[in-house]
Structure 1
Amino acid sequence: MKKLVKLMVFIIALYIFLEINNQWLVVTEHVLESEKIPSSFNNYRITQVTDLHDATFGDNQQKLIEKVRATNPDAIFITGDLIDSNRYDLENSLHAVEAFVKIADVYYVLGNHEVAINKMDEIYIALIELGVHVLPNESLVLERDGERLAIVGIEDPLMGMETEEMLNIALANVPDDMFTLLLSHRPERFDTYVAKDVDLVFSGHAHGGQVRLPFIGGLVAPGQGMFPKYTAGTFTENDTTMVVSRGLGNSIVPYRLFNLPEIVVMELKSK
């Protein structure tokens, strides 16, 4: 009898532990200072949401919505895998987006799961109807007090184009000296972003390495394999900085370990 009770307690404790690891939303804040950032965009706050994978955080995504609202963003970047190709439920994810567009301007690029399920057009149309700025290898220029910066987005390589080619198209009308923010799902293409002199990249895809261990980091990530380099945090090479979010949901592996779902905030500082 005692063994049965201990087993039940262990199972309940394990369930609670797994639920905490997959439902406890955290916000990670970063600051980037640069002389290229226009003074009118000083303190500009960008909240990144990525890899939702049709996960649910509260009724109609209210927990996620309130967390994002509390970050007080000037812009919200959604960097792919809004849905999951294994359990497609666009309406579930759109509950969050419907609220996001009332908080700030929302910008979106797709991830590999949107491409894998071949629902890109349906997703693009739904987001555009909500007022989201969809960036399929495109750029937009924001202006404040006569000063400008560029927001650029590229699609996933599963669309059949190389990352460099997509960047060439997206950056075609962006002046070389303009501070550039890039939304791109895949962090493993960092070398290409560096080669193209992108200033700040927002990426996801790695799910934080799924399982994170002290002093080691993430254990495995798509496109990077075991002990991946780019799973979370910021990475800088030359004049390019990339921020990688651990993301929110899961796909093939249903649980995260020591890897809480993450919302990223990046605040720009003009030197």
Structure 2
Amino acid sequence: MLKKFIIFCLLLIGVWPFLYINNHWIVTTEKVYESEKVPQSFDGFRITQVSDLHDALFGERQEKLVKEVKETNPDIILITGDVIDSNRYNLEQSLMAVRQFVEMAEVYYVIGNHEVATNQVPEIYEALTEIGVHVMPNTSTTIEREGETISIVGIEDPLNGVETQEMLNEAMTGVNPENLTVLLAHRPEKFNTYVANEMNLVFSGHAHGGQIRIPFVGGLVAPGQGVLPKYTAGMYEKDRTTMNVSRGLGNSDFPYRIFNLPEVVTVELKSK
């Protein structure tokens, strides 16, 4: 009996650091997006994506997360939803890292389902706007370099009761079809809608990397996709559309990541 108890205790001692590392060790994934639609002046332009923070903390005043993002040397930073968690809504804590992001680069933001679930979207939008974030509620803007431009488009989360296609119709009003179109959209399961609308480069999150990642298989489960989801991490290509899905940073209903480290993503644009 004593031997079994000792073995049990040793297992517990081993499990705790494993879980801690899986939930707190941030990694940066670097990718390249090459296209003839990337203007020459944007060759080498670096887009850093932060997604699904869910009110998680990474060091005092988010120092570990901020350091990781700063080291990507971003030209712009995209936040693709769920910066807060509806189960433990703490807006000031959630914005701690964002306040430091705006000191590094221009920051663009769209909501996820958790922002909608709090019924505090106007408050969140106001707070982010006040600290200098470009809030993108079914709208678009352009970034200019040396007389050339790309379009940044953002849509809200369909939990608000509006269909993705309808939100895209509104957001794309006035967008130059010749421009490279970068879309911020929380939900990767809407990929075929993004493809049908010929979005060029899409940044999504929501899937949390499948929460538990099975080696050589992928993510186990994701909201909106169920068991063995198709879109959980990395780049997916179809026709003229490339979608990058971030594994995100925090957790919500299920408190642990397994073989699924928190992730910051950087995509470098290359002119073809």
TM-score band, normalised by shorter chain? over 0.9
- Aligned equivalent of 2:11: 10
Secondary structure, aligned partner of 2:79: strand
Secondary structure, aligned partner of 1:114: helix
- Aligned equivalent of 1:180: 181
* Alpha-carbon offset, residue 119 of structure 1: 1.1
Match status 1:206 vs 2:192: no
Quick one: distance in 2 between partners of 1:215 and 1:34?
29
Quick one: distance in 2 between partners of 1:215 and 1:66?
31
- Aligned equivalent of 1:229: 230
* Alpha-carbon offset, residue 7 of structure 1: 1.9
* Alpha-carbon offset, residue 3 of structure 1: 3.1
- Aligned equivalent of 1:120: 121
**Residue identity opposite 1:84 in structure 2:** D
- Aligned equivalent of 2:110: 109
Quick one: distance in 2 between partners of 1:36 and 1:265?
19
Q: Deviations over 1:172-209 (max 9, x none)?
A: 11011111000000000000000000000000000000
Quick one: distance in 2 between partners of 1:10 and 1:206?
30
* Alpha-carbon offset, residue 168 of structure 1: 0.7
Q: How many residues of Structure 1 are paired with residues of Structure 2 in the alignment?
A: 271
* Alpha-carbon offset, residue 6 of structure 1: 2.3
Quick one: distance in 2 between partners of 1:53 and 1:194?
28
* Alpha-carbon offset, residue 104 of structure 1: 0.5
Quick one: distance in 1 between partners of 2:74 and 2:145?
16
* Alpha-carbon offset, residue 236 of structure 1: 0.4
Quick one: distance in 1 between partners of 2:13 and 2:101?
35
Quick one: distance in 2 between partners of 1:214 and 1:18?
17
Unaligned runs of 5+ in 2: none
Unaligned runs of 5+ in 1: none
**Residue identity opposite 2:74 in structure 1:** P
* Alpha-carbon offset, residue 215 of structure 1: 1.7
- Aligned equivalent of 1:93: 94
Quick one: distance in 1 between partners of 2:59 and 2:5?
33
Quick one: distance in 2 between partners of 1:56 and 1:3?
36
* Alpha-carbon offset, residue 4 of structure 1: 2.8
- Aligned equivalent of 2:139: 138
* Alpha-carbon offset, residue 9 of structure 1: 1.7
Quick one: distance in 2 between partners of 1:4 and 1:195?
58
Quick one: distance in 2 between partners of 1:5 and 1:224?
41
Q: Deviations over 1:9-38 (max 9, x none)?
A: 211110110001000000001101001111
Quick one: distance in 1 between partners of 2:21 and 2:144?
41
Quick one: distance in 2 between partners of 1:169 and 1:3?
63
- Aligned equivalent of 1:219: 220
**Residue identity opposite 1:40 in structure 2:** S
**Residue identity opposite 2:187 in structure 1:** R
Q: Deviations over 1:139-197 (max 9, x none)?
A: 00111111011000000001111000100110111011111000000000000000000
- For 1:34-183, what aligned pairs fall within 5 Å after superposition? 34-183=35-184
Identity %: 63
Quick one: distance in 2 between partners of 1:12 and 1:84?
29
Secondary structure, aligned partner of 1:102: coil
Quick one: distance in 1 between partners of 2:61 and 2:90?
13
Task: Please give the TM-score of this superposition, normalised by the length of structure 1.
Answer: 0.99
* Alpha-carbon offset, residue 5 of structure 1: 2.7
